[in-house]
Chains A and B, each alone.
Chain A
Amino acid sequence: MDRLRAAATTEPGRLRAIGAVLAALVLAFGAITTWQTTSRADAADRVLNRSQPLSNDAAAIYRSLADANTAASSGFLAGGQEPAKVRERYRRDIDRASEKLATAAANAGSDSSSATSVSELNKLLPQYTALIERARANNRQGLPLGGAYLRYANDTMQTQMLPAAEKLYKAENKRLNGDYADAKPYPWLAIAFGVAALAALGWAQRRNYRRTNRVFNTGLVAATTAAAVALLWLLAGHTFARSGLNESYEDGVKSLNVLNDARISSLKARSNENLTLVSRGAETVAVGSATKDKFDVAYQRQMARLAGGEGGGNGGGLLDEAAKLADDESGERPVETAAKNVTEWKDRHKSARASDDAGDYEGALDAVIGAKSGEAAATAPSTGESFDNVDAALDLALTHELREFRSAAQDGKGAMAGLPVGAAVLAVLGAAAAVIGIGRRLSEYR
C-alpha cells in the first residue's frame, strides 16, 4: 500500500507511471498499425494475386463456354465436316474452360456458392462435349439426328452451364469487391493511437520542461520522432496504397468488367445469329403484335447492349462505356476498332437477314459464315469476319486494361510494403527511448 501511495504522490512514482503509460501507448500504436496495415496489405495482395485473377478466370470460363457453343453451331452450319479452324477453336475453348475450372475449383475454398457452381460445371462439361461428339458423328453420317443432338447440347449450355458460369463470375466478382473493401479503409484506430501517443509524449515533455526547465529530454524526443515517423509513414503509405488501389479499380477492374460484358454480349449475339439459321424460324416470340424469330430478337438485344440503342448514335452501349473508361490512347484504340466492326457487323447482318427473308437461305448462310468455296471465299465479307474482328479488338483492350490494373494494384500494394514491420520496429524503438528518457529523470532522484 505504501509503495502504491508513494507511486501516486511522490515524483519518482509519478515518473514511473508516466514512463509506463508512454511506453504502452507507443507500443500499442505500433501493434495496431502492424495489425491494421497487415490486414490491408493482405487484402491488397489478394486483390492483385487471387481475387482479380479468379474473377478474370471466371469471365474466361463463361467466355470459353459460350464461344465453344458458338463454334459448335457454326460447325453445324458449315456442314458435316466442319472447317479445321472452327474445330480448332472449339477444342481450344474446351481446353481453356476445363483448365480454368480446375484453378477455380482449387481456389473456391470455403466459398460455397463458387464451389457449387464449379462442381456443377465440372459435371456438365463432359456431358456437353459428349453431346457435341455424338452430333458430329451423326452429322458425318448425313443424319438429321446430329442436328437434334446439337440442339440438346445448346439447350444444356444455355439453360444450365452458362447460368452456372455466370453465378461463378458473380461470386468471384463479389469476392474481389470484398477484398477491395478490406484493403481500402483508413486505419482509424492506428491513427488514433498514433495521435494519442504523440499527444502523451508532448504532454510529458511539457511537464518535464515546467518542472526542470530543461527544454529537451533526448529519450522523449527520440520517442516522439519515432512515433511521428511511424504515423506519417502510415498516413502516406496508406494514402498511396489507397490511390493505387482506387486507380486499379477505376481504370482496371471497371474497364475489365465492362469489356468482359461486352465480349460476352458479342458472343451471345454471334451465337444467336448462328442459331437463327440453324433453327430456320423454328422458334418465335411475340414482340408487340408482331411474331419474330426468337434468336434474331435475342441477337438484336445483345447488339443493342453492345452498341447502344437501335440505329446507333444515341450511345449508351457497353462499348461507349468502355470508351469512356479507357484512360489512354492504347486503351481507346481497340475499343474504337471494336465499335467500328460492330457497325459493319450490323450492316452485314441486315443484308444477311434480307437474303434469308427473301428465301435465299444459302446467300444468308454465306453472309453469316462466309462462302465456303470458290473465289468468293477469300474476299466475301461475312458477319463471322466482323465478329472475329470485334472479338480480337476486345481481347486487345482486355489485355491492355489487365496490364493497367496490375501495375496500379502493384503500386498500391507496394506503398504498404514494409509498413507493418517498420511500424513495429519504430514503436519498439520509440517505447525504449521513452523509457530511457524517463529513466534519466528518475536517476536524478537516487
Chain B
Amino acid sequence: MGGARTMRTRPGETEQHAAATKRHATNRQAVIRRHGTTALRRWGGVVSMALACLLAAVAVAFVPALPQLRGDTGRGGDGGASGGERLTQAAPARADDCESPESSLRPSPEDGPTIEKIKQRKVKKLIVGVDQNSYRWGYRDPNKSVGELEGFDIDLAREIAEKLLGDRNAVVFRAIPTNQRIPAIQSGQVDMVVRTMTINCERIKDVAFSTAYFETGQQVLAPKTSGITGYNETLKGKKVCSAAGSTAESALKEKSFGADIRTTVPNQLDCLVRLQLGEVDAVVTDSALAAGQAAQDPTVQLKGKEPFTTEYYGVAMRKDADDLVRRVNGVLDDYRKDKDGWRHSYNKWLAADLGKSAGPPNPKYKD
C-alpha cells in the first residue's frame, strides 16, 4: 500500500484525463477540490454558487503546498468530505441532461408501501444485494466464522436493517455480480443494493439512489514494475481489465488510449486474478476497490496521482420506492453524524488502505 499512497498524495496532471469527463476545466476543478478538501472543510456547507469560482481560485493557491501537507496526513481525501457546494459544482461535469444525480429525496421516518411489504414478510428480513469479493467493502474472510460477510458496505446494510426492522441481523445477503445490480433491483430479487455502486445519470433512469455515502473515482492499477503510469498514453497496446457493467468499463469504452479493453469479468477482483496470471497488463476500477486489490497483492499499485473521475457511492433501490429511499436517507443522515457510525466503520475497514478520511460526503436533496 505504500506505493499506492505515494502515488495518490501528489496533485496530478489533469489534461490527459479530460476526455473521460469531457471538460478540461471542470475536471481540473474536481482535482483541485479534492486537494483542497482539508482546507475547504472548515467553511462548512453554506457557501453559495457565486462563491464557488472564487473558492476554486483560492484552492489553486493551495496546490503547491499540498504535497507536503498530504505527506503528513497520509492519503486521505477520496473518502472525502465534500461540501455540498462543491457537489453542486461537480454536477455539470457529469452529464448535460442530468444536473446532479447525487441529489436524492429528503429523509422521512414514515413507513410507506415498500417498507410495509418488507415488514409483512413471513421471514421479516431485509434482502440486500452485496458483494462478497471486495476486500474491506463486502467480503468473506475464509478464516473467520463460516460464511460471514463483512466490510464497510456490510456494516451499512446492517445499520439500515437495524433502523428499519430493529435487528442488525435481519438481513439476507445476496451476492450480485456488477452487471446484475440493476436487474436484481428491478426484478425484486433484492430490496436494495449496497455494493460500492456509483450514482450516475445513466443508472438513475433505472433505479433510485440514496444520498451519497462515499466519494471515490476511477483509477488504474498495475504492477509496480509496469511502464503504465496512469490513465494516459502509456496504456496504448496494453490489455486492460474491467468489471462488466462497471463505471470503469464505460470510461474505458469512452476513451481507452489504444488499450485492448476486451477483457471484462463479473467482478473487479477477477481482474486481479487475470493480472496476476499475466492475462492483462492493468486494471481499471474505483480507487476504493483498487486499494483493496493492492492490499491483497503487494506487487501492484495504483497508478496516476489521482483518480481520473469523481464519483459517489449510493444505496440503490427500486425507482418507485420513495418511502424506502427517504427512510434510508434518514438512516444515512444519522449514520454520518453518529460516533459509532460512518467514521467508526471507515476507521475499521478503510483507514489502513485509504488513509485518514475527512468524513462522509454531505447529502444533497432534489426536493
Contacts and interface: CB of A to CB of B under 8 A. Distances in A.
B143 interface: yes
Contact of B272 (A148, A280, A361): A148
B297 interface: yes
A362 B273 contact: no
B180 A147 contact: no
Contact of B176 (A144, A149, A281, A372): A281
A146 interface: yes
A277 B147 contact: yes
Interface in A384-399: none
A160 to B, nearest CB: 15
Interface in A274-322: 277, 279-284, 291
Contacts of A215: none
B344 interface: no
A418 B20 CA distance: 84
A277 B135 CA distance: 19
Interface string A118-159: 000000000000000010001111111111110110000000
B132 A144 contact: yes
A279 B147 CA distance: 11
Contacts of A279: 175
Interface stretch (B48-56, B166-174, B354-362): B166-174
Given A149-B273, A291-B189, A283 B146 contact: no
B225 interface: no
Given A152-B273, A359-B123, A80 B142 contact: yes
A284 to B, nearest CB: 7
B118 to A, nearest CB: 13
A362 B143 contact: no
B177 interface: yes
B269 A145 contact: yes
Number of chain A interface residues as a range: 35 or more
A77 B147 CA distance: 7
Contact of A147 (B133, B148, B176): B133
A81 interface: yes
A42 to B, nearest CB: 48
Given A138-B296, A281-B175, A282-B175, A147 B132 contact: yes
A357 B127 CA distance: 10
Nearest to A145: B296
Most buried by B among A277, A282, A361: A282
B172 A283 contact: no
Given A79-B146, A138-B296, A144 B273 contact: no
Given A284-B180, A361-B147, A146 B142 contact: yes
A3 B209 CA distance: 115
B187 interface: yes
A144 B143 CA distance: 10
Contact of A148 (B147, B175, B187, B267): B267
Number of chain B interface residues as a range: 35 or more
Contacts of B297: 145
A358 interface: yes
A424 interface: no
B144 interface: yes
Contact of A142 (B144, B145, B171): B144
A345 interface: no
A29 interface: no
A76 interface: yes
A65 interface: no
B142 A76 contact: yes
Contacts of B146: 77-79, 362, 365-366, 372
A359 B125 contact: yes
Contacts of A144: 132-135, 139-142, 269, 296
A141 B141 CA distance: 9
A362 B146 CA distance: 6
A361 B173 contact: yes
Contacts of B144: 79, 142
Given A138-B296, A280-B132, A358-B123, A145 B272 contact: yes
A148 B241 CA distance: 15
Contact of A79 (B143, B171, B276): B143
Interface string B178-190: 0010001001010
A365 B139 CA distance: 17
B176 A282 contact: yes
A291 B123 contact: no
Contacts of A291: 187, 189
Contacts of A359: 123, 125, 170-173
Nearest to B135: A144
B155 to A, nearest CB: 16
A148 B135 contact: no
Contacts of A77: 146-147
B327 to A, nearest CB: 20
B175 A142 contact: no
Contacts of A81: 143
Interface in B252-293: 266-267, 269-270, 272-273, 276
16 contacts: A78-B146, A134-B276, A139-B143, A140-B142, A143-B296, A144-B134, A144-B139, A147-B140, A148-B267, A279-B175, A281-B175, A281-B176, A282-B180, A284-B189, A358-B125, A362-B148
Interface of B: 123, 125, 132-135, 139-148, 170-177, 180, 184, 187, 189, 266-267, 269-270, 272-273, 276, 296-297
Interface of A: 76-81, 134, 138-149, 151-152, 277, 279-284, 291, 357-359, 361-362, 365-366, 372
- Which 8 interchain pairs have the tightest Cβ spacing? A359-B172, A280-B175, A80-B143, A144-B139, A80-B142, A282-B175, A281-B174, A139-B142
